[in-house]
Structure 1
Amino acid sequence: MNTKVLNNILSIVTIFIVAMFFSCNNNLDRVQKLGISENEPIGVDYNMNVKYTDSGRVTANLISTKMLDYTNRDFPFREFVDGATLYVYDKDNKKSTVVADRAVVYEKTGIIDMRSNVVITTHDNSVLKTDQLYYDQKKEWLFTNFPVEFQTEQDLIKGNGFDSNSKFTNAEVLEVTGIITLEE
């Protein structure tokens, strides 16, 4: 009788252990997110000065006073809440500058969303001003549907929307609302 009771208890314990073993999942991501609210950043960086290099040559320099890291979300991003300044250097070391009051870099899409007082000054002194501008890092393409002001050596062009490659070699103001020819 003792053997039969012992076998029953052993069978019940075995079934219980097997059931527990198969019910457990690898929830490391969920465990890591415990204590971190979905609405809170996973990290905060202050006084950033990041230099990007290619073959020992500085290609870009990003400066920002505060960045919030939301890469713990399903659609990960980094947000520069107190503004960002980006200096971009071409192969001849000519500098272009991008300034915005706020910028969001989306990890999965490679899109950078710049907002509020966006100003791009190219190395040849062309200036683009708008309140919102997107940059597609993969296609190296700038675009917006917001009102813009684009100043070249010859003209000041105002319109609603802008498209251009990152080198501004085919910059186009969309829905032109005015052109002022500048004196030399």
Structure 2
Amino acid sequence: MNYQRKLVLIFFLNFIILFSCEDNSKILNEINIELQEPVGIANQIKMIYTDSTEIKAILTAPKHLDYTNLSFQYSIFPKGLKVDFFDELGNKNEAISDYGILYNSTKILDLKGNVILKSYNGSELITNQLFWDIEKEWLFTEKFFTFQDSSYDFQAYRLDTNKEFTKFQTGELVGKIIVNDSIDK
């Protein structure tokens, strides 16, 4: 009789323990949202962006903080990042910075601190902040920058350009620019 009571008691306790457990993931996400804590932290990451099986960009960073649990989703790269992005011919261009924020909904990457953008053709852009619109493949900044390539060597505030630097607008320029007097027809 004692054995049966112990068995019933053990069964009853297991039943209570089993059914008293609940899924707390929703509560944990709400706590993270209130505290503005990242949903994930990763070290030594490598993110590959593709379009129709073609690699468009490879982002590497020593640390990644994922805030996709918030209503305005973003990711932070607090220890810097490097982005290798490729044109249609597979030519590699490189961007590095000390800090970065990727805004998921707008697909804009905000590069901050010692930003250097090197093109496969030798052109180089240096600034303290650069925004990169990933979908439109467009770069812009309101900060002071320097730009050098085989035809240009100048500094200015404000830049608005495509990734090839073939169409760009700047503020007032300082430096050397080679001007071709011929008119393209």
Task: Give the shorter-chain TM-score range.
Answer: 0.7 to 0.9
User: Which of 55, 68, 72 pairs up with 1:71?
Assistant: 68
Q: Which amino acid aligns with 2:37?
A: E
RMSD: 2.1
Q: Judging changes above 3 Å, is the alpha-carbon distance between structure 1 residues 141 and 131 closer, same or farther for their aligned structure 2 residues?
A: same
Q: How does 1:1-184 map to 2 (within 5 A)?
A: 31-36=27-32, 37-176=34-173, 178-180=174-176
In the TM superposition, residue 32 of structure 1 has moved relative to its aligned partner by 4.2
- TM-score between both structures, scaled by the size of structure 2: 0.75
Residue pair 1:42, 1:72 contacting (<8 A) in 2 also: yes
- Which residue does 1:23 correspond to in 2? none
Matched length: 154
Percent same amino acid at aligned positions? 30
Between 28-37 and 83-92, report the one with greater CA deviation: 28-37
In the TM superposition, residue 155 of structure 1 has moved relative to its aligned partner by 2.2
Please give the alpha-carbon distance, in whole angstroms, between the structure 2 residues aligned to 1:174 and 1:120.
Answer: 19
- TM-score between both structures, scaled by the size of structure 1: 0.75
Residue pair 1:121, 1:128 contacting (<8 A) in 2 also: yes
Gaps of 5+ in 2: 1-23, 179-185
Gaps of 5+ in 1: 1-27
Q: Judging changes above 3 Å, is the alpha-carbon distance between structure 1 residues 135 and 151 closer, same or farther for their aligned structure 2 residues?
A: same
Q: Judging changes above 3 Å, is the alpha-carbon distance between structure 1 residues 57 and 121 closer, same or farther for their aligned structure 2 residues?
A: same
Residue pair 1:150, 1:173 contacting (<8 A) in 2 also: no
Cα deviations across residues 33-64 of structure 1 (Å, max 9, x unaligned)? 24425321111011012233344443321111
